[in-house]
């Protein structure tokens, strides 16, 4: 998601945001929640940060096919047809002396509950050694700072791909956050591990340097897909539909289709930041598209 924080900080459109909020759209706070699970020898924790409700207005989902087609799909699954409800989740991995947080949620200024969810799992922010970023939209990097704009994970190195960091620095709306995190940022190229058992995988199209993360322990694997897919219903059933938050829609569609096909074939575990909390499960082939099979091992 890209619009959230941009919309929240845009004073000129504040009234429009408030009107949408009154209709139940936009970001909303959730109760602190953490789900601990194991992947091989590793301990992982899914963390609930927020909820985000996108109106079915052909600006976010089904941009190329229109709202009625999206409504038909939602109705066929017994869901409200005027909106698509997303979760905002982050993932924490404890590996070989490192405590690695993948994405940081919206942040306390934008209804983010990540810190409370970490606390509920007994994890203090100063024990986090690395914050690893899938991409720099506000719902993934907003929680890098606290309500005062200070680093929320004071001892952590912040890691992201080199093209993503270049892109973030070019965004005027991110200037304050860039200034706060610059001393801590280390960039990487995909393909080499950035911590024991955690390897960035380029998932092109959503943003200029969007990354997934493959987490491996023994024969067990999990892919954090970042924003490869936003809705566990729409993005999986119709991976070729244009998504308004993708910066390169054509590339994003191709990546979504090929990656979902690979995940369905391999049967590996998946973590999705925007699927219903805890965002852990498997992708299964279903007709021309895919289905989400939620489940924590």
Candidate residues 49, 130, 227, 246; the one interacting with Zn ion per rule CB under 5 A? 227
The residues in 123-152 that bind Zn ion, with binding defined as CB under 5 A, are 139
Compute the least distance from the CB of residue 122 to Zn ion, in Å: 26
Minimum CB distance to Zn ion smaller for 152 or for 216 = 152
Compute the least distance from the CB of residue 52 to Zn ion, in Å: 8
Minimum CB distance to Zn ion smaller for 43 or for 248 = 248
From residue 230, give the alpha-carbon distance in Å to each of 13, 120, 243, 270, 292.
24, 26, 9, 13, 12
Compute the least distance from the CB of residue 68 to Zn ion, in Å: 25
Minimum CB distance to Zn ion smaller for 139 or for 164 = 139
Q: Per CB under 5 A, does 103 bind Zn ion?
A: no
Compute the least distance from the CB of residue 274 to Zn ion, in Å: 6
Compute the least distance from the CB of residue 178 to Zn ion, in Å: 18
Q: Which residues of 57-88 are buried (b: 16+ CB within 10 A; e: fewer)?
A: bbebbbbebebebbbebbeeeebebbbbbbbb
Q: Give me the residue whose beta carbon is nearest to Zn ion.
A: 1
Residues near 143 by Cβ (< 8 Å), separated by ≥ 6?
A: 49, 90, 104, 105, 106, 107, 108, 112, 114, 115, 152
Minimum CB distance to Zn ion smaller for 49 or for 227 = 227
Nearest Cα neighbor of 3 from 23, 27, 21 is 27
Q: Per CB under 5 A, does 246 bind Zn ion?
A: no
Compute the least distance from the CB of residue 131 to Zn ion, in Å: 15
Q: Per CB under 5 A, does 1 bind Zn ion?
A: yes
Residues near 182 by Cβ (< 8 Å), separated by ≥ 6?
A: none
Minimum CB distance to Zn ion smaller for 34 or for 90 = 90
Minimum CB distance to Zn ion smaller for 4 or for 128 = 4
Number of residues that bind Zn ion (CB under 5 A): 3
Residues near 47 by Cβ (< 8 Å), separated by ≥ 6?
A: 33, 34, 89, 90, 91, 92, 105, 114, 117, 118, 121
Binding interface with Zn ion (CB under 5 A): 1, 139, 227
């Amino acid at each position: 998601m890209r619009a959230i924080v941009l919309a929240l900080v845009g004073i000129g459109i504040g009234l429009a945001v408030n009107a949408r909020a009154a209709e139940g759209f936009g970001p909303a706070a959730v109760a602190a929640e953490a789900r601990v699970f194991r992947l091989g020898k590793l301990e992982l924790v899914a963390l609930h940060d927020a909820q985000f409700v996108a109106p079915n207005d052909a600006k976010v989902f089904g941009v190329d096919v229109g709202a009625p087609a999206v409504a038909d799909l939602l109705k066929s699954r017994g869901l409200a047809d005027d909106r698509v409800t997303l979760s905002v989740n982050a993932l924490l991995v404890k590996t070989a002396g490192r405590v690695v947080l993948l994405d940081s949620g919206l942040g306390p200024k934008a209804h983010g509950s990540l810190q409370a969810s970490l606390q509920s799992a007994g994890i203090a922010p100063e024990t986090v050694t690395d914050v690893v970023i899938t991409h720099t939209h506000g719902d993934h990097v907003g929680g890098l700072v606290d309500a005062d704009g200070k680093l929320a994970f004071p001892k952590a190195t912040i890691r992201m791909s080199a093209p993503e960091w270049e892109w973030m620095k070019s965004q005027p709306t991110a200037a304050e956050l860039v200034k706060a995190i610059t001393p801590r940022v280390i960039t990487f190229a995909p393909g080499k591990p950035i911590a024991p058992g955690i390897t960035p995988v380029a998932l092109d199209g959503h943003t200029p340097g969007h990354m997934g993360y493959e987490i491996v322990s023994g024969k067990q694997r999990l892919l954090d897909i970042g924003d490869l897919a936003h809705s566990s219903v729409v993005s999986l059933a119709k991976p070729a539909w244009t998504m308004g938050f993708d910066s390169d829609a054509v590339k994003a569609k191709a990546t979504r289709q090929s990656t979902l096909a690979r995940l369905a074939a391999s049967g590996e575990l998946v973590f999705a930041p925007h699927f219903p909390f805890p965002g852990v499960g498997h992708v299964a082939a279903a007709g021309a598209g895919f289905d989400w099979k939620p489940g924590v091992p």
